[in-house]
Amino acid sequence: MATAAAGVMASSIAQARPASGGKDKGDYDAIIVGAGFAGLTAARELKRHGYKVLILEARDRIGGRTYTAEFDGKPNDMGGTWVHWFQPHVWAEINRYGVELEESPGNFADDVIYLDEAGTRHHAKLSERGAEFYGPVQTMFADARAIMPRPAEPFADPGWIAADTISVADKIAASSLTPEARILAATIFAASSGGAAENVSWVDIVRLVALSGYSLELESDVVSRFKLKGGMRSLYSALADDCGATIELNSPVATIETTGDGVRIIGTNGKAWSARAAISTLPLNTLKDVGFRPPLPRQKLDVSVEGHAGKANKIHILIEGERPIFTAWAPGTGPSPINHMFWDGAANGRTHLIAFGSGDHPLRIMDKGEVQKVVRQFLPDAVVVDVKAHDWNNDPYSRGAWCISRPGQISKALKDLQAPHGRIFFASGDWASAWRSAIDGAIEQGITTSRALHRLLTGN
């Protein structure tokens, strides 16, 4: 999406907007670091108040950790895909811009291929055995409402913070699950988190289910059934067109500095910009990579240095032959680096699969031969024709996939992560109050943080 050598994008109304009330102390009223959903939303909200806004984006595209690319002749999401009406912020944007939905039927196929802990392949039909798999796993959330009675308002009843002491692995080990239910539990939690079970907070999984009406079945619908026609770029491009900001691509930031009644931002190329205030949308795992002056409080910096546990790999795979619809499971503690794989369409003699696994389990995600070996754990005769993925874990501007907390990590740091630092505000789905780790959470943060910045600039 880069346009011209300078890498500048601007909406038609971004060119001539005056600074608010003539009080501009720099080039802009606000500079936003990052053109993902949090940054684009914040810019659009600030536009309503007439502010002059610049967005600096390190990559050569907008979208942040949501990214739509071409695969098998059509748009497919390398990052960010599923949405739901249980997610109020993203649902409002879908309605605002008239984006249509389509389903991912493979996620809910009746035919299941699953591996046990030893790697042995099994087959099942959910129409016959669904209760056997899902019923016991739902019982693991019997106390979810008591732990998190108001999951979208984390500080209204903070009892969940004290409860955040165990990992997913601890919870599974303490549960009286059948072998089949244990496989499903280990699969669902690995696919939901993208992290190793021993590194993932159990309470963070409880949060996802609590936000979904305390139902594991509904949580599966929310996070994996409905996607956008044309991919996620149909929404983030509409938001960018509407945000009214100038967007400079290929503009990674080196330092963000508070300077009395303004801020100064210096790029890695030495270029400098100034504004009355700034919003950083840097992901949690990259906060530590940018210099802040004065330095960030230890409560913010330490959690970035530690890093969250989300290391998911998402791989689009094209295999020979038109396969019938199916879904595949493998426990995160088992021998496969893929925990969840499912049918996403079949045409022209080929089948499109989408696979998820954790970066904690090594896999060269763009190596067709290596991916084929893993696919054959589920489909022994599969021939992989093509693969496509984005390595979020080694991307310097993300250093991980969606955010999932380690035990006791983000629960104890959430207030600090959301707090401003002088005239610098922080907006990221990584520390959203509700749908943390989701697009909805990023939009939430763009809205709330832009409101806080507006209050600073107006003194209200």
Report how many domains make up the chain: 2
Question: Of the residues 177, 206, 226, which one is the last residue of a structural domain?
Answer: 226
Question: Of the residues 197, 226, 255, which one is the last residue of a structural domain?
Answer: 226
At residue 180 the predicted structure's pLDDT band, cuts being 50, 70 and 90, is confident
H or E element in which residue 416 lies: helix 410-418
> Does residue 427 belong to any structural domain of this protein?
yes
Shared-domain flag, residues 189 and 254: no
pLDDT at 31: 99
Shared-domain flag, residues 145 and 210: yes
DSSP-based three-state secondary structure for 389: strand
Look at residue 159 and tell me whether its pLDDT is greater than 50: yes
pLDDT at 67: 97
At residue 190 the predicted structure's pLDDT band, cuts being 50, 70 and 90, is very high
> Does residue 314 belong to any structural domain of this protein?
no
Q: Is 253 annotated as a binding residue?
A: yes
User: What angle is formed at CA 211 by the lines to CA 178 and CA 343, rounded to 5 degrees?
Assistant: 60
Bridge partners, 253 (sequence order): 267
> Does residue 196 belong to any structural domain of this protein?
yes
Shared-domain flag, residues 236 and 215: no
At residue 370 the predicted structure's pLDDT band, cuts being 50, 70 and 90, is very high
Shared-domain flag, residues 288 and 156: no
Predicted TM-score (pTM) of the model is 0.94
Question: Of the residues 193, 226, 259, which one is the last residue of a structural domain?
Answer: 226
Shared-domain flag, residues 157 and 215: yes
Stretch 178-197: mean pLDDT: 91
284 near 426, Cβ under 8 Å? no
Look at residue 110 and tell me whether its pLDDT is greater than 90: yes
Which residues span the domain enclosing 147?
Answer: 130-226
Q: What is the mean pLDDT of the chain?
A: 93
CATH of the domain at 453: 3.50.50.60
389 near 189, Cβ under 8 Å? no
Give which of 339, 419, 416 is closest to 161, Cα–Cα: 416
Shared-domain flag, residues 264 and 413: yes
Reported as a single tens digit per residue, the pLDDT across 320-349 is 999 999 999 999 877 899 999 999 999 999
Shared-domain flag, residues 408 and 302: yes
> Does residue 322 belong to any structural domain of this protein?
no
Six token digits for residue 457 = 């600039």
Shared-domain flag, residues 138 and 185: yes
Give which of 93, 164, 84, 63 is closest to 447, Cα–Cα: 93
DSSP 417-441: HHS-BTTEEE--GGG-SSSTTSHHH
Sequence letter at residue 76: N
Stretch 225-244: mean pLDDT: 98
H or E element in which residue 232 lies: none
Shared-domain flag, residues 186 and 243: no
> Does residue 326 belong to any structural domain of this protein?
no
Shared-domain flag, residues 283 and 150: no
pLDDT at 26: 67
Shared-domain flag, residues 173 and 236: no
29 near 19, Cβ under 8 Å? yes
Stretch 249-266: mean pLDDT: 97
pLDDT at 334: 77
Q: Is 356 annotated as a binding residue?
A: yes
CATH of the domain at 149: 3.90.660.10
Neighbour-count burial of 261, counting CB atoms closer than 10 A to its CB (0-12 exposed, 13-18 middle, 19+ buried): exposed
Stretch 278-306: mean pLDDT: 97
Look at residue 88 and tell me whether its pLDDT is greater than 50: yes
Stretch 273-278: mean pLDDT: 98
Q: Which residue has the tokens 């290929």?
A: 250
Look at residue 449 and tell me whether its pLDDT is greater than 70: yes
Q: Kindly give, in sequence order, each residue whose CB lies less than 8 Å from that of residue 96, ignoring residues fewer than 6 positions away.
A: none
